[in-house]
Amino acid sequence: MTEKGAKPAATQDIILSPGRVGSAKRNFILEYLGKCKEAYDRRERREEGEYVQGLYNAWKHHSQRLGVPAGTPTAFRQVIHNMKKEGIIEHYATRPAEKNHFWDRNYYRVTLE
């Protein structure tokens, strides 16, 4: 237990809304983008962040392990949009898709240090 007004010790996960699937998505996005940034800084990765579909695919895999529904791509994009609007993540690049008939890839990175 912490003293009144004292900040709790830092943890690996940032809890934004405990107990809700939406908070699990937000936590996952922050953690995933944080790992992307660390790998980029170590020169193990070409991109500092990840594109939306790549994030969603990783979330689908992670949510299966958690035993929670992944939700729709549209709902996931809404979480990305909200986090961007709140200033937690930022859009930093748009790159063409590998195949012409796919949409361009929008890349995001974490803005919190």
DSSP character for 100? Answer: T
Match domain 21-110 to its CATH number in 3.40.50.720, 3.40.630.10, 1.10.10.10, 1.10.3720.10: 1.10.10.10
Best CA proximity match to 48, nearest among 87, 90, 103, 97? 90
pLDDT in tens, 55-86: 999 999 999 998 989 999 999 999 999 999 99
Q: What is the pLDDT of residue 102?
A: 83
What does the domain layout of the chain look like in residue ranges?
21-110
Q: What is the pLDDT of residue 13?
A: 43
pTM over 0.85: no
pLDDT in tens, 18-53: 445 568 899 999 999 999 999 999 999 999 999 999
Q: What is the pLDDT of residue 97?
A: 85
Here the tokens at position 88 are 């937690």
Q: Which are the contacts of 109, defined by CB distance < 8 A and separation ≥ 6?
A: 33, 36, 37, 48, 49, 89, 90, 92
Here the tokens at position 53 are 């579909």
